[in-house]
Amino acid sequence: MCIKLRTGGASHIRKFKKTSVVILLIYFLFAFKGVKAEKAMNLKVKSPRVAYNILIDISEFKLYLISKKTNEVIKTYPIASGKKETPSPYGTWTITEKSSNWGKGFGSRWLGLNVPWGRYGIHGTNRPESINNPLSHGCIRMNNKDVEDLYKYVNVGTVVVIYGGPYNMHWYSFRTLAPGDKGADVLEVQRVLMNKKYYTGSLNGVYSEYMKSKILKFKKENNLRYTHFLDKEFYNALGMEPFE
């Protein structure tokens, strides 16, 4: 099975050959990972008419609309992603709501995602200069004409993969996390701790008091500094290395 790219000739085929391989690997990596995460968080949305999946590659500021039937990239759109301080929710999600009238100040169309730690989605923008830049508060921004076009294709239940490296991270460094923080990086720490049999709570991307107790246990047993902050020393002990 492969993901195909619509092209206009040999030069386009050469140009997109590498992209096609990357999309294939990303798509299946997170499709598999997302199934496990969805079961763990009990976030299931079903639709009888879901014909497409969406892949968003933050490193390229691109959104790919992929046919489920042919695995062909039907459309490619430029996007804007979250800032370093307010990153986009990397991982595999599902569209749970659609709206064409959700706020005049935020551009046309809204496609809401089932992210457990906040309200995130794909939407239009009245700031077209932000496209191709990390300037949002975490949502995926699109030009209004593009999100209106995408809106016609996707239904509730469409899978959306937001990719940012093997640890769902685009900025090549981990945040120093503290109790109360939320995000995809918190979710990744939860997954790694769960694999190491230290964490049995919800995979919800929220650094809770329960999560803190398990982190302190891990730090004590691994002779790390006994603080509730998650820093470089902690990530190294977990075996989590930034993607470059």
- By annotation, the residues acting in catalysis are 123, 139
The tokens for 142 are 């699109």
67 in helix, strand or coil?
Answer: strand
Whether the CB-CB separation of 3 and 27 falls below 8 Å is answered with yes
Length reported for the chain: 244
Backbone angles phi, psi at 68, to 5 degrees: -70, -30
User: What are the tokens at 68?
Assistant: 């489920």
Contacts of 193 (CB under 8 A, 6+ apart): 199, 211, 214, 215, 218, 238
